[in-house]
Structure 1
Amino acid sequence: MAPLRSRLKAATSGLHERVDRGYGDFRLETPTGYRDFLLAHARAVIPAEEALEQAGIVSLVPDWLQRRRRDALRLDLLQLGEAIPTPLHVPRSTSAAWCWGFAYVLEGSRLGARVLSRIVESQQAGLPLRYLGQGSDQPLWPRFVDMLETAAQEQPFDEVAEGARAAFELFVEAAWLQREATADCLA
C-alpha cells in the first residue's frame, strides 16, 4: 500500500491546486499583499488550530504546542496595525482520523514558508515574519509525517481524507473572503 501521505496528496490534489491559485493572488512583495496574505491565513489558521485542540490533537501529536502558529500570526498582524479578522467556522470532529487529515493540511501549509519569507524579506525589510518563520529551526514537517504514517495508517482513509478536504476548503474560503474584503475597501 502507498504511504498515507501519497494517498492524501492524490485525494486532495484538486483542492491543493485551488489553494495555491487562491493564495497566488496575494503579492507578497508588497506590504498590502503581505497584509492580505496574513489576514487570509488568520481567518483559517486561528480557528483551525483551536478546533483541533478542542478535538484532542495534543493526544495525537505530542509536540503540538511547538507547532502552533496562531500566536505568531496575531503578533505579526498586531505589528502591522491590523485587527484579527472574523474567524471562519471550522467543522468540528472528534474523530482521530479526521484530525489527522486536517492537521496534515495545516502542517503542510508551513512547507513553503521559508521561500515566502525570503520573498517578503527581500522586498520589504522590516515586515514581521514570526508567522512564516515559526518552527523553521526545527524538523516539524518530517516529524509530523513520521507520526502520520505510523499513527494514522490504521485510521479509516475516507475520514482522514475528509479532514484534509475540510482544511483545504477552509483555506480556499479564507483566500476568497480576503480578496473580497480588499476589493470592497478599494471600491
Structure 2
Amino acid sequence: MTVKAYAALLRGINVGGKKKVPMGELRPLLSGLGFGDVRTHLQSGNAVFTTAADDAGGEDALAARVSEAIEGHFGFAVDVLVRDGAYLKAVADACPFPASALEGKQLHVTYFSEPVDASRLDGLDRAAFLPEEFRLGDRALYLYTPDGLGRSKLGEVLSRPALFKGVIATSRNWNTVTKLVELTGEPDHG
C-alpha cells in the first residue's frame, strides 16, 4: 500500500475573529477521518496528512471529506483545497521569480481549484502595477509584491471575487509555500 502526503489548504478561516478553526481541534478532526501523521502549520489553515493513495479518491474527494468534517464539527462551511506533495513541490520549483533572493512576504502563491484561463486577466494593465507582477502557473498564480501584500494594489485587484468567479482560490506567502513542500516531502532514506 502506497501512502501519500497531502496538504489541506483552508480558505478564509481565523481572519478577524470569523470562522474560527483552532488547529488543536483540526488535528484530531482530520485524524478521525483516518488520516495519518496529521500536522498543522500556523493558524491560517494549513494541515498536512498522509493517507493510502489508493483509498484517497483524488484531491477533490479528499477536499470534500475535509470540508464536510469541518462543517459538521464547527457548524460553518469552509472551502478546502487538497494538494499532494509532488504538486506543491512542482509549483515551488516552477516559480518564475527569484524566490531565493526575496523575503517570504514579497512572494505569494494563490492556489486554484482548477486551471484558470489567462483571458480572465486580460483586462489588467500590468504596467500600471509595476514593480508588482504576477504570472500564472499550473492551477496557481505567483504574485511578487516588493512592499508586501498588505500594501499591494495588484494584490487587492487580484483578490476581487469576480475575477476568479466559480473558482476556489487561497493564497499563501512564500515561507508557507516552502514549509508545506517540506512537510509533504518524501522522507529522506539516505
Q: TM-score of the superposition, structure 1-length normalised?
A: 0.25
Higher strand residue share: 2
